[in-house]
Chains A and B, each alone.
Chain A
Amino acid sequence: MSDTILDLHEARLTLDGNAGPVEILKGVTLAVDRGETVGLVGPSGSGKSSLLMVMGGLERATGGRVAALGHDLTAMGEDALARFRRTHMGVVFQSFHLIPTMTALENVATPLELAGRGDAFDRAEAELRAMGLGHRLDHYPSELSGGEQQRVALARAAAPRPDILLADEPTGNLDGPTGAEIMDLLFALNARHGATLVLVTHAPDLAARCSRTIRLEDGRLARHRQAAE
């Protein structure tokens, strides 16, 4: 029995632009298994980030079906999606997207609090310490370097132990060594907790570290590569 955690069937996304509707995803069919690491690659504007957003329920597919852990995301309301992400998904962005009015600790504790975890702050602190940020707990995002901010974002995504980790070019705004450090942490999380990782990246070497690479071109899947190939 296959253990599919993400299941997309003919997923489509059309957005309204200034010059009329723009078709971003033109029918993507894809299945990701539990524990898998998937690299999403492709030229700029090919729809990689949009596909990731659709997988996370951050963007609603305008056609087809998107299911995560057997739940049809396209049939869920905004709040139901939020509650689903709370326990099952962690998202890491290129621009970190930390809440500017919260400290590092508070940022990491927030999803745990939302999930009703009584030990939210203890767990958040442990996560940040594990990321080497024990000395930055009470700092606001604006007081942290880019690498530190991304490690906070990573801690926030990983702290609830999600089934799925979605990462959208997490090293895009970082220098080489810092980026490499972040990627090591990301893959370590996958290895340690068994979270399924979907990673959007432009870097071939990062994609190569994934168990599978999916290439997207003009909103369609171009080809797959299995690590074993």
Chain B
Amino acid sequence: MSAARRIARRELRAGFRNGLRGFRVFLACLALGIAAIAAVGSVREAITAGLQREGATLLGGDASVEFTYRFAGAAERAALRDLGTVSEIVEFRSMATVPQDEGGADRALTEVKGIDDAYPLYGDLVLAPPAGAGAALAGDPPGAAMDPVLADRLGLSPGDTFRLGQKTFRLAARIAREPDDAGGGFDLGPRTLVRTADLEGTGLLEPGTIFETEYRLRLPPGADLDAARDRLAAALPEGGYRWRDAREGAPGIQRFVDRLSAFLVLVGLAGLAVGGVGVASAVRAHMVEKTATIAILKTLGAEGRTILAVFALQIGAVTALALGLGLTLGAGLPLAFAPLLADRLPVPAAIGVYPRALLEAALYGTLAAALFTLWPLAKSQDIRAAALFRDGGSLPGGLPRPAFLAATGALLAALVGSAALLSGIPFLALYTAFGLLAAFGALLATAWGVRRLARRIARLPALRGRTAIRSAFGSVGGPGGEAASVVLSLGLGLTVLAAVGQIDANLRSAIERDLPEVAPSYFMVDIQPDQIDAIRALAEDPAVAEVQAAPMLRGIVTRINGADAIETAGDHWVLRGDRGVTYAASPPPDTTITAGEWWPEDYQGPARISFAAEEAAELGLALGDRLTVNVLGRDIEAEITSFREVDFSTAGIGFVLVMNPAALQGAPHTWIATVYADPGAEARILRDVADRFPNVTAISVRDAIDRVSQILSGVAAAVTYGASATLVTGAVVLIGAAAAGTRGRSYEAAILKTVGAARAGILASFALRWAILGLASGLVAALAGTASAWGVTRFIMETGYVFAPGSAAVVILGGVVLTLLAGLAFAWGPLAARPAGILRARD
């Protein structure tokens, strides 16, 4: 082994003296892949650390206790005060209205937040012009602070007045920063901040109105959060509230960041796979170049395993260098762009060096390097001493020995396993791995097919006399061509981009495509029982196609068959927080009961529930199960007597939980209605309803969709950046392949010149062959990307799939342009060189 190490060191020394010429693509590919993964991981860790550090500020306190559409009772307030300083916050949606001189009014949906004097317990509320909340919001009419977006939309300047419900407020300031607005950008309406006390007289907090109250707690320094939670639970055994604490200040954001970064790491792994093609090509070329050295070493008595050790050590050293480069780059990029990131990210991030992120990237990088270098390395053992006396130029053919095949399988399993384990989304990780392997297979088959086809085309009698075209096809199809490496490297990068492009286009179009025909114009909420008949009467308007209405309560499923619900059925969205609950005497129109029976219309017995079938299956619920639903602080235990199909994709009214009327009718509640109207009449209907019922909040479905589309665009942009990194790696591999082919092309150009070819003809032939390979790569990438996107939209997103031709065309065109650019960048050398020099060097 020591002999191997010494020889390896000598070989490596020669390589370094040469500027690691043969390993530059190797280094670039591996380092880029590792850097991308390390950077994504570092940003993820930075956000996690930022969310933890700012947990109390984001939550608004060390802990927060949330009630749904009620304020805490006296006993609850007392129990909360026992724990520490309390700040009461109330939040709900409403319409901000600005009356116009000509009699009409401007309206916009807003998320109203009522605060008290203790707000904020942590962090600072920054207003513009600068003022303290107390001073700014005091006065008559009472003051309000608004999100600048909302103020601009309504054309309000400080001092102007507007209405919330039935009461007039004065815009005191714009909100420059709201400390506890973690990812507030996900809300449907921009913020309006007022004092809770000033909400009296608005008519917006009537019984049954949908609002949430939060009691933020500042605990004594060093207080144990678990102990505080337990004390509250002991003091309020009835429950009916939701506890959150600063350890998880923004769980939704954390989940979103974790998911997005996991997805980006998967995209990064695809990049590493693309880079792997470059790594494998580089090692293969290196081994070919070293054939004579290996043959000499064998002649001198070196065994196969010594040879393997020599080159494995060498490749190992270069891999270590690539790891160092990649990790430095991956850790350094977020640091270098820290101010920009802090500015652009909607969440706090503690940018720094995070070993966990770097270790994860190093693990992927090492496994990928081992996987892609193993085969060409294994071939070194099979080079015979006799190779010295023959013309080199290729490694021995066939598969490597069984031990290497087994090692390849093990490395692949380790890489996919690590991705599945570390990403936290094993299904998607496995799907990605399968997709990449399939794409690899498809691209290899394509390369083979393109070569066969090109060879046939080159021999077509029609091409005789067209030397440039014939020699281009001949070169693609002939021995020693670049087809495989170009199609693989570019094709894989483009496949990832094509898949992302198709998914992105489908995401956007799914919303536009699936909704307009069935979606209502408005959701109207907070309709008081005495107003619902008037809202229903809207259906008589010729411009209104339909009005659907249902009573609306909110409740939390706390127990299943007497046991804690989340412990029994897992952390399902239905159990997370409060859900809408309604009651109905008979099944709503078009309801399909999948199991059990609906209660009789005049049923007065113990409470019963009809549950959404799909969600029930996910929760493992069966007919006869008993659910405890906390509504307005009161526990209602009910038996599941039927399951129903609920289609949430129609944006109509859909409730997971429907109870029999007698169970809920007595509870104070409001109604929810959906109004289906001609788009042209929407503004008029909104104006009429808002004028008659200022307490009713109308949510424009179109606005909500726009908001969702905006968020999706952001996600799509992040993923596209990730995919672009993959393409950059692909481009590096491509450039490597183009550079590696320079020698061959110089030789070909020299011979062609010798037999009389002019440079323009030679260049045309070169350009044509690159265009052929680029076109083939682009076509297969568009196909493979489309197939992947179809799988993702069909099985993961569970929406329909529609082919997006624009995105596919960009990918195909991109393939041609990229190969042409890479090829042309290396064309001048072969064209300019004098034939004699090139030919002499080959003698």
Contact = CB atoms under 8 A, between A and B. Distances in A.
A137 B839 CA distance: 24
Contacts of A59: 834-837
A160 B756 CA distance: 11
Contacts of A111: 755-756
Interface string B462-494: 001111001100110111110000000000000
B475 A87 contact: no
A108 to B, nearest CB: 10
B754 A58 contact: yes
Nearest to B391: A142
A106 B455 CA distance: 12
Interface in B746-765: 747-748, 750-761
Given A79-B759, A114-B467, A118-B465, A97 B753 contact: no
Interface in A79-96: 79, 81-87, 91, 93-95
Contacts of B836: 50, 53, 58-59
A97 B839 contact: yes
B754 A140 contact: no
B842 interface: yes
A222 interface: no
Contacts of A100: 478-480, 744, 748
A85 B755 contact: yes
A114 B438 CA distance: 43
Contacts of A6: none
B115 interface: no
Count class of interface residues, chain B: 35 or more
A120 interface: yes
B839 A87 contact: no
B543 to A, nearest CB: 71
Contacts of B755: 85-86, 91, 110-111, 114, 156
Given A60-B834, A113-B464, A99 B479 contact: no
A70 to B, nearest CB: 19
Nearest to A97: B751
A99 B467 CA distance: 13
Nearest to A157: B755
A78 B753 contact: yes
B458 interface: yes
A106 B757 CA distance: 14
Contacts of A87: 756
Interface in B724-760: 744, 747-748, 750-760
B840 A49 contact: yes
Contacts of B840: 49, 53
A102 B754 contact: no
A98 interface: yes
A95 B843 contact: yes
Given A113-B464, A121-B464, A140-B479, A97 B756 contact: no
Contacts of A99: 471, 474, 748, 751-752
Contacts of A98: 751
A58 B834 contact: yes
Given A58-B836, A59-B836, A100-B478, A86 B756 contact: yes
A185 interface: no
A101 interface: yes
Contact of B843 (A93, A114, A117): A93
A115 interface: yes
Interface string B810-843: 0000000000000000000000001111011011
Q: Tell me what chain B mostly uses at the interface: helix, strand, loop, or mixed.
A: helix
A95 B747 CA distance: 12
Contacts of B835: 53, 58-59
A24 B477 CA distance: 40
A109 interface: yes
Nearest to A93: B839
Count class of interface residues, chain A: 35 or more
Contacts of B752: 99, 110
A79 B480 contact: no
A110 B471 contact: yes
Interface in A107-143: 109-111, 113-118, 120-121, 138, 140, 142
A95 B839 CA distance: 9
A181 to B, nearest CB: 21
A60 B481 CA distance: 31
Nearest to A78: B759
Interface in A33-55: 49-50, 53
B458 to A, nearest CB: 7
Contacts of B747: 97
Contacts of B750: 97
Contacts of A102: 471, 474, 478
Interface in A60-84: 60, 78-79, 81-84
Contacts of B471: 99, 101-102, 106, 110
A83 B756 CA distance: 5
Instruction: Select the residue from A106, A116, A156 with max chain B CB neighbours within 10 A.
Output: A106
A109 B751 contact: no
Contact of A140 (B478, B744, B748): B478
Interface string A184-222: 000000000000000000000000000000000000000
A101 B475 contact: yes
A123 B182 CA distance: 80
B190 to A, nearest CB: 65
Nearest to A56: B754
B214 to A, nearest CB: 73
A106 B474 contact: yes
Instruction: Select the residue from A97, A121, A138 with max chain B CB neighbours within 10 A.
Output: A97
B467 A101 contact: no
Contacts of B748: 99-101
A109 B834 CA distance: 23
B744 to A, nearest CB: 8
Contacts of A83: 756, 758
Nearest to B472: A101
A195 B794 CA distance: 72
Contacts of A85: 753-756
Given A110-B471, A113-B465, A82 B834 contact: no
A110 B765 CA distance: 13
Contacts of B753: 58, 78, 81-82, 85
Contacts of A79: 758-760
A103 B475 CA distance: 10
B754 A114 contact: no
A11 to B, nearest CB: 14
Nearest to A114: B756
B839 A58 contact: yes
Contacts of B470: 106, 113
A120 B465 contact: yes
B373 to A, nearest CB: 27
Contacts of A53: 835-836, 840
A99 B748 CA distance: 6
Instruction: Select the residue from A106, A113, A140, A156 with max chain B CB neighbours within 10 A.
Output: A113
A99 to B, nearest CB: 5
A95 B481 contact: no
Interface string A153-187: 00010001000000000000000000000000000
B478 to A, nearest CB: 3
A113 B470 CA distance: 10
Contacts of A60: 834
A76 B754 CA distance: 15
A95 B835 CA distance: 14
B838 to A, nearest CB: 9
Contacts of A116: 465
10 contacts: A59-B837, A83-B756, A86-B756, A97-B750, A101-B474, A106-B470, A110-B757, A114-B756, A114-B761, A118-B465
Given A86-B757, A100-B748, 15 more contacts: A49-B840, A58-B754, A79-B758, A82-B753, A91-B755, A93-B843, A99-B748, A101-B748, A102-B471, A102-B474, A103-B474, A106-B458, A111-B755, A138-B459, A160-B756
Across the A-B interface, give the 8 residue pairs with the lowest CB-CB distance, nearest first.
Answer: A86-B756, A101-B478, A59-B836, A111-B755, A53-B836, A79-B758, A58-B836, A101-B475
